[in-house]
Amino acid sequence: MQAVRQDPLLGSSETFNSFLRRAQQETQQVPTEEVSLEVLLSNGQKVLVSVLTSDQTEDVLEAVAAKLDLPDDLIGYFSLFLVREKEDGAFSFVRKLQEFELPYVSVTSLRSQEYKIVLRKSYWDSAYDDDVMENRVGLNLLYAQTVSDIERGWILVTKEQHRQLKSLQEKVSKKEFLRLAQTLRHYGYLRFDACVADFPEKDCPVVVSAGNSELSLQLRLPGQQLREGSFRVTRMRCWRVTSSVPLPSGGTSSPGRGRGEVRLELAFEYLMSKDRLQWVTITSPQAIMMSICLQSMVDELMVKKSGGSIRKMLRRRVGGTLRHSDSQQAVKSPPLLESPDASRESIVKLSSKLSAVSLRGIGSPSTDASASDVHGNFAFEGIGDEDL
């Protein structure tokens, strides 16, 4: 997330956040009062916290951490996400709640029981797992999230790996379980709903996952098995999100293209080979969330490149302290992994080098977006001869 520019009229970004908070509260006409807010863990466990309707995201995050007895210095490793619970119980991620947001107002203003707030780790580099696993509560949160991701099929597991993981579960060897999980494809990735892309051909149905400094696209070309192509964030020169309202047509709608609804597109300019940049466009209602993921991956890469650390303490309010809960709640241990789904196919890498893929007519996206909508990538790297 880019830093807020300091403005002498506002005084500071804190003042600006306060302004946005009041605007959200007044727009929804919500009085300031104490309420109970339900936050879910990745495994579906409910954590009920007492908050004010005017509490911002970090206030609610503190309350959840206090309820779970998560140490103050590990709070920054987790974030709150707004999700939509689908009929099968799976979560569709809408967005990461921003600092200035009022989580209670954000979720209740949608006036639908299918929208929930979920706690999930906020970083991408699995090396940071070591910091979190030093603590019992942090370890349990990572373990519950990983088991849930495996059960959903977000993490790709072979039958033998599944057997090894279940054996470690039976021994209650949580750290060893996570060490093995870290070696698996798509560990720590965030998976999005089915959508369409113009890679490797127009209107190609894909499933996008974000993690490990890349966007992964799983796809099936006619007459072929499930394949995967990966786009490294360090090869994206820039990206942008655009919206449009397509005209109704007599044809059937594709995934991610609801007829008569606002259509969101994430487009990024990718370095396919040493001297060739090309635009790739993904059409998905979750395009904004994808963009947020890209930005956070870039931010994390830049922090690591500068020798910094993501370990941080949440800001303490003037005249206040981090809140503490009178009653704590333990993170429940998830059940043993079920037998692997026989219907899940193995995935073949589309190509070890994207430059070897035959790409069909990927043109520049529409140019009606202003320059301010384009996200420049400071982690963008050129390709050397050794990469070709």
Terminal alpha carbon distance of the chain:
32
The token pair at 45 is 């466990």
Query: pLDDT tens digits for 5-23?
Result: 333 333 445 554 554 555 5
Exposed/middle/buried for residue 225 (C-beta within 10 Å: 0-12, 13-18, 19+): exposed
Q: Is the model's pLDDT at 58 over the cut of 80?
A: yes
Query: pLDDT tens digits for 135-151?
Result: 999 999 999 999 999 99
Res 123: pLDDT: 95
Q: Is the model's pLDDT at 194 over the cut of 60?
A: yes
Query: pLDDT tens digits for 241-252?
Result: 999 887 666 555
DSSP 89: S
Give, in order, the Cα–Cα distances in Å from 80 to each of 32, 93, 293, 300: 21, 11, 14, 18
Alpha helices in the chain (DSSP H): 13-27, 57-68, 103-108, 129-133, 136-152, 159-170, 174-182, 287-305
Query: pLDDT tens digits for 273-302?
Result: 888 999 999 999 999 999 999 999 999 999
Q: Is the model's pLDDT at 325 over the cut of 80?
A: no
* Strand duo 227-232 + 214-219: pairing: antiparallel
pTM passes above 0.85: no
Res 154: pLDDT: 94
Kindly tell me the sign of the dihedral angle through the C-alpha atoms of 134, 302, 41, 117.
positive
- Length of the chain (residues): 388
Res 47: pLDDT: 96
